[in-house]
Structures are given as structure tokens and as C-alpha cells.
Structure 1
Amino acid sequence: MYIRTLGQSPYQSEAAARQAAQELFTKYESDCRGIDVLKRLRKEKHTAYDEALLLRRRINELPKLYQDKAELDRRARIWRDSPEKNRVFSDPVLERRRIAEFVSRTGALAPEAYRIELAKLLVRLGYPPNYYLRDLNSELRRARCEESVNNLRFAFPCGGLEVDDPKAISGQVADHYLRTELGITLSNQKIPCSVSGRRGFCDVHFPHGITIRVNFSKVPYMLTAVQVAPKVGPLREYSYSCFGRKVNLS
């Protein structure tokens, strides 16, 4: 039985599964071009399936969210622009009644009430309550990118870690390269990455000036590693899979 995407039956051949993963990765590269935020916006842990349902709802309902926000903005402007709210009674009870009557009559929203109502709209679509919305087109692009990334979690050998955490994968690939090609074991010192889809790489730096470059150009089929310092070593390609966050190479 082979990998599948959300809502699909298991593929009947490895070739079909690989082709589906390839198509998903191509879509990810298209949807996420120029998008710099790929991580989940929420702190809670959700399954990839739950995340997929949420992101699909977000994409479908974002235009309505902006319409609702525009209405909140209109009501906030009533509060901001009306001098009536600035009249103050010495009796606090009368003052509360006056404000309540003003709000009931005009629909005005005080700043705190505005924040509460906006937070409700945001949380419903899975945003943090204090999330700063950009324009609708930007948020739709971000949501489509997040949906594409989430879909990779169904179809990729490492459940999307190839995109979510290339440093973690690169460190393990470089450790394997050191053991099998150089016969040594070292602790990596830093892992700067420049990865955007299949373009880019991570350089894994070890003591003694040793640097192993891990390339993602052949995911979801292969991970590539080569020593680039202090001298150039052999290029190796590894088939890979994952168990949790542990990368298995062959």
C-alpha cells in the first residue's frame, strides 16, 4: 500500500504514489512562491486531516471574514468619530446607561469591544485572536500555501518535514554521510539553509572545517549529499523514509 493524499484511496503502485507526490510538490512550489510564512499559525496540535479541513474552510470563507471585518470597522468609526461618547455624567450608573443607550442606538463599537468581536472572527478560521490581517489577496495566497504544505504531510516520505524542518533532515543526512563516507562521527555546529521548494540546500558544518551540503532537488524521491569543504567528496543520493522525526536512508 502506498502513500496517498487527503481524501484519496491508497495508490496501487509505487509509481502512481510517486507521481502524485511529484504533482503535490509542484503545486506547493507554485502556491508558496514568495510566501515566507509556512509554519502552522496555531500553537495547538492538530492532525493533518483536521488542519486540511480548517485550511479549506479558511480559503472558502476568507472573503466573508473581510466583509464582516468591514462592518466591524464601520461600527468602530462611529464610536471614534462621535463626540457623544465623550459626554460624562458624574453619576457612574447614569454614565453606563448613557453609553449602553448610545451603543444600542448606533451600533458603535468601543475599542475593546472591537478587539473582542474581531478575535471571534479570526479564531473561527484558525487564526490567533491577535493575528494581523493583511489584504485579502495576501491572506488567500498564504492560506493556499499552507494548504499545499499540509497536503505534503499526507504524501511525502517524511510527512512534510522536507518543507517544515529541512535543518533536522539535513543534520541526519550529513551525519550518515560522515559515517559511511568518512568513517567518522562528529557533532554538527550549525546548519544554515537556503531552501525554497526544490531549489536550494542546507550546509551542515562540522569541526575541522568539514561541510556537507544536503540538496533537496530530487525530493520526494531522493536526498542528495556531498562534501564541499575542506575538500570535495563524492556525491551520494539516498532513498529515504521517516519514522517520526528520524530519517531512514538507503
Structure 2
Amino acid sequence: RVIAMAKQCIEQRLPIRFGLIFESETALAKHRADQEAGTPEEDMTYGDAGEQLFRLFRGLHKTHGHVAAMVFAGAYAEKAVFMDDPERMEQMRKEEFRSVAKMFKPVAKDESGKLTRLKYKAALNATEGRTKLAKSTEFVRGAGLNAAEEPALVINGQMVQGSGEEELIRTVQFQQQMLQRKVYYGEVDDRSPIYKQVVGGSAHKRYHPLIVEGPQSSKLFVSSEAI
């Protein structure tokens, strides 16, 4: 339910920054088992895009640090909200990962004790489809990372503990209201896409009922007496 609601945030064009952490080892094990058995594969629970996003986020978090992972998650989510083309979204994930990786280049010691920069771009970006899924997991394993066993949600840089539906709704509502308050009091650059989305309603006209209850448009919500 948490994953479905997170996808709704993008579909409904909610102005929110978030990152998703998905389980990966179970899905990849099933994929390899299907390959060995020669059986047709079913769509993964979270989809190929979610699996790849999980690996990139975890790889940056463990290898580059918390700040690098949050920079990536924020940049990816902010742009993904305004994008409809799945192929372009996949390309954007790679571009954002490369951009953040350049900012936070990791260094590790080889067998001889010499410091070397970790090389992973070729494995992640030079493959396609299921091969990319496997390669990105190999990078996670090779870097000594552990995949999360349960999906978790990061909203605006804050981890949502428990991943309960009610807790997610409350968190989204709070973040949404805080953003609208900032817009109302002139704390958001009026040239930014977020400002245009909240005030002008350029990206969406109605909130999803599971996310926010109240006025039918963000413009009405911002101008309401509650703010």
C-alpha cells in the first residue's frame, strides 16, 4: 500500500520530494530461478524502475554517504513528478546517479592497500533491462552492501518508520501543508516549478482524496483561511 501511494504521488503530480528503498535480493533470486527453469517471468512487485532506484539509492548511501543518497533521491523525485515518459525517466535516473556520483566520488583500498576509485558506471549504465537489474545488484554486493528486506519510504529527506498507510498520509499532509505555508509567506522562489505548481495549478488541479482532504485545488488551499 505504501508503494502504491508513493506512485500516486507522481501520478497526481503532488509537489513532494521523496525516495524509495525497495527490497531487491528476493526479486533478483526469483528472476534467476525463472531464468534457470526457462519459465516466463512475471512483472516484479515493484517494477524494474523501483528495483533499479533501490540499488542506486542504497549504493550512494553506503558508498558515498547519507548526503549523497538524499541529493540523488531529492533530485530524482523532484524531476520525476513532472515527467510522463517512462523511457525518459530511466535515462534521468542514470543521469542523476552519474551527476551525484561525480560530486561524491568513493575511494577504496585494493588488495595491495593502494587507494583506488571504485568503478561502477560501466556495470550500471552500459546494460539494458534485466541485465542492468542484475549488474546493479552485483555492484551493491561488491561494495559490501546489504539490501533492505522491507520497503521503506523517505519523504523530503525523512525516513518514514513503520511504513503504515495512516502514518504515510499524515506525513504527506504535513509536508504538503508546510510547503504551501512557505509559498503563501513568500519563502519559495516564484520562478521554481514547485511554486508554479502549487499556486498556478499548472501540473494538477485536484489532490488525490487519500492524500489531502480539503479544497479541490492547491490555489484554493493556499488562499483558504486555514493558512
Structure number with bigger Rg: 1
TM-score computed with the length of structure 2 as normaliser: 0.25
Query: Relative contact order (C-alpha < 8 Å, sep 6+): which is higher?
Result: 2
